[in-house]
Structure 1
Amino acid sequence: MRLSFVAAALALSSVGGLVHAQAATYAMDPTHTFVTFEIGHFGTSTNRGRFDKKEGTVQLDRAGKSGKVDLTIDATSINTGTDGFNKHLQSADFFDVAKYPTIKFVADKFSFNGDKVTEVAGQLTLLGKTNPVILKASNFNCYINPMLKRETCGGDFEATIQRTQWGMGWGMNFGFPDAVKLIVQVEAIKQ
């Protein structure tokens, strides 16, 4: 009886090892990965910006329906297309880049529909505070990159956050909204 229990335990651990062996690591391609944001401007138009410098990795196991993300964003690289606006966003009123030069998103909860990722749940660290964020996929695909001859996976992900959760409240008293839409376009190359 004891021998069959040990054999069953070994069989289960080897199956677990096979599933784990299917996980692959992907490096984010900085030329096809962008983190952008949108916030309303007095109910009239939408202010948009992006972070030009970012890096990270994704671990993805489509068969095991699991994954991990580790994304680091250089907050000093914020780019709205207007130097004065960039400087204001870099100031202590908003991103306080002198004190908090990086933004971090770390996730380990992936949801799937078949082998397609539908959402990624993780933690966003901004201004020294960490709160949960769920990025929902509007697109997801994996393909063999014809130039690199390697598998590339990625998609378009979105979330709406309340910026005051991270202590970013400038402008709330005169009409800037709390809600900010985050858009993460990512492609990552299998290593």
Structure 2
Amino acid sequence: MKKLSLIVAALGFFAAAAHAEPATYSVDPSHTFASWEIAHFNTSTNRGRFNKTTGSVTLDKAAKTGSLDVTVDTTSLDTGTAAFTKHISSDEMLNVAAFPAAHLVASKFVFNGDKVSEIDGNLTLMGKTNPVVLKATNFNCYMSPMVKREVCGGDFDMMITRSQFGVSYGLNYGFPDTMRVVIQVEAVKQ
């Protein structure tokens, strides 16, 4: 009888899991940043990050689907050096006065087992939208002891061709057209 009860309970659990609803997660701005890096005359690597990011992620673990809508405040650029930040923010590069936000939207999530391994979407930067592929170098969900809710996130890498977005400064000096963008994200289940 006890064995039968366990089997019925297990079947009920799996039936409930199979009919799980998609969950919505809000981006945690204190754990979510977009950073970039680009070679500097093939000698060192220039890096910077954007300190303000907002958005949401919808994840259906049972169906292995998801979507995201994330906005990066480009005026929050921080390179660690005021003069360099000002130069990157200028109309020669990102023109953050005219384009104060970058927007990432995706509706195709690729899973490897129960973990997100890739996200395909579109990035809008400087008024131009192009497809991008974000590769998960880390993905995990956990019960946060701080907020007492599930948190999902990871590190997501993508390579972009900056001239496709109108950022061509330095190409004639030999700076590469491709650059690496990493988005570290944690999002809290709502």
Q: Normalized against structure 2, the TM-score is what?
A: 0.89
Secondary structure of the residue aligned to 2:84 is helix
Find the counterpart in structure 2 of residue 122 from structure 1: 121
**C-alpha distance after superposition, 1:112-144 (max 9, x if no partner):** 011100010100000100000000001101000
In 1: Cα distance, 2:188 partner to 2:145 partner: 12
Find out whether 1:161 has 2:165 as its counterpart: no
Find the counterpart in structure 2 of residue 27 from structure 1: 26
In 2: Cα distance, 1:44 partner to 1:174 partner: 14
Find out whether 1:52 has 2:51 as its counterpart: yes
> Letter of the aligned partner of 1:39 in structure 2?
I
Find the counterpart in structure 1 of residue 79 from structure 2: 80
In 2: Cα distance, 1:80 partner to 1:129 partner: 23
In 2: Cα distance, 1:142 partner to 1:75 partner: 28
> Letter of the aligned partner of 2:63 in structure 1?
G
In 2: Cα distance, 1:138 partner to 1:35 partner: 14
RMSD: 1.2
Deviation at residue 45 of structure 1 after TM alignment = 0.1
Deviation at residue 48 of structure 1 after TM alignment = 0.3
In 2: Cα distance, 1:143 partner to 1:184 partner: 19
> Could you list the runs of 5+ residues in structure 2 that have no partner in the other structure?
1-14
In 2: Cα distance, 1:84 partner to 1:49 partner: 13
Find out whether 1:40 has 2:36 as its counterpart: no
In 2: Cα distance, 1:174 partner to 1:134 partner: 28
Find the counterpart in structure 2 of residue 149 from structure 1: 148
**C-alpha distance after superposition, 1:132-180 (max 9, x if no partner):** 0000001101000011110000011101111011111011001111111
> Letter of the aligned partner of 1:179 in structure 2?
T
Q: Which runs of 4+ in 1 moved over 6 A?
A: none
In 2: Cα distance, 1:48 partner to 1:141 partner: 26
Give the share of equivalent positions with the same residue, in percent.
Answer: 57
In 2: Cα distance, 1:77 partner to 1:35 partner: 10
Find the counterpart in structure 2 of residue 175 from structure 1: 174
Q: Normalized against structure 1, the TM-score is what?
A: 0.89
> Letter of the aligned partner of 1:135 in structure 2?
L
Deviation at residue 34 of structure 1 after TM alignment = 1.1
Pairs aligned (count): 174
Find the counterpart in structure 2 of residue 110 from structure 1: 109
Deviation at residue 50 of structure 1 after TM alignment = 0.2
Deviation at residue 31 of structure 1 after TM alignment = 1.1
**C-alpha distance after superposition, 1:56-110 (max 9, x if no partner):** 1000001111111100011111000011111111111111111111100000000
In 1: Cα distance, 2:101 partner to 2:140 partner: 28
